[in-house]
Amino acid sequence: MDMFNQNFKIWLKALRLPFLTATLVPVALGSSIAWRDTGRFNWLYFFLTFIGISFLHIGTNLTNDYFDHKTGNDKVNLNPTPFSGGSRVIQDGTIPPALILRGALISLGIGSFLGLYLNRMLSGNIILILGLIGVFCAFFYTASPFRIGYRGLGELVVGLCFGPLVVMGAYYVQTGTFSLAALLASIPIGILIMLVLYINEFPDYNADKSVNKNTLVVILGKERAVTIYHLLLTLVYLYIGVCVLFRVLPYHILIILFTVPMALKTYFISKENFNSVRDLLPANAMTIGLHLSIGLLITTGFILDKIF
């Protein structure tokens, strides 16, 4: 029993389940907009969508661990944190690399199976197309020959996948159509998850640079990169304000303004500590918090728009 509990905890560490908030937020948002627009909500489809994309996300995490191990990226990382540097289970010798890859393929397979089921239940092959894009990006984010995350495209691809791709997919599962409101609402969610990845690249700067993993932080350098981080964080609030001003998104989503104090705190911590791995950690955590809180508040805003 003790051995089972130990192995269970090790696998939980490898799967990085707390990061599944990156999946929950866009699925909840797309589904809530669908309910606002149609008044209908299919709970079975909602859970299948969330579980399926969660397995793709887990497969991405495991794939990244395996291929970052193969390139030596995680091995040379001397500053792993709870938010960056991989799960470390391979480096700690607790799970063999081959088993991590097997787990990645199984997870991607389960996610793909659930996607195929939803695609069969819906008209057309829209879910099939979106799913193929998602699986491709999940596996080749670090796998050869594309290695998306090594070529300065990782942040953008993550933003697109966990923003518009998932939000629009979740909306389509509920309605069988697409929506301009869902697309517009997905943009800040995509930017925020991109910022989660982006700020987590600061502690990995030296390791990434040594193995030619050209993240935006490596390409720009830390000082310019943190300026871009601040601009994009500001853009999230400006974008939402403009969308509400022009009435393309409901005014109820302005409840996201309650997160401004957290955003300001994140701004000052990152501005002062972008060169310090440990002192930057609160900003890493708060960026995740901003993605989760803003995403759920926008979701709540659409629900309130339906009710009132």
For the CA atoms of 308, 240, 30, 110, the dihedral, rounded to the nearest 10 degrees, stands at -150
Which domains are delineated in the chain? 2-307 (1.10.600)
Structure confidence by residue, pLDDT tens digits, 82-128: 999 999 999 999 999 999 999 999 999 999 999 999 999 998 899 99
CA 83 to chain centre: 13
Cis amide bond preceding 26, omega within 30? no
Task: Say yes or no to pLDDT of 230 above 80.
Answer: yes
- Report DSSP state, residue 75: T
Q: Tokens 């991109």 appear where? A: 194
Structure confidence by residue, pLDDT tens digits, 231-253: 999 999 999 999 999 999 999 99
Task: Say yes or no to pLDDT of 157 above 60.
Answer: yes
Annotate 240-259 with DSSP letters as a single string: HHHHHHTTSS-GGGGGGGGG
CB of 60 within 8 A of CB of 141? yes
- For residues 177 and 115, give the distance between their C-alpha atoms in angstroms, rounded to a whole number: 17
Structure confidence by residue, pLDDT tens digits, 20-68: 999 999 999 999 999 999 999 999 999 999 999 999 999 999 999 999 9
Task: Say yes or no to pLDDT of 79 above 90.
Answer: no
- pLDDT-based confidence at 9, cuts 50/70/90? confident
- For residues 44 and 58, give the distance between their C-alpha atoms in angstroms, rounded to a whole number: 21
**Which pTM value belongs to this model?**
0.95
- For residues 301 and 253, give the distance between their C-alpha atoms in angstroms, rounded to a whole number: 4
Helices 2-15, 97-121: axis angle to 10 degrees equals 70
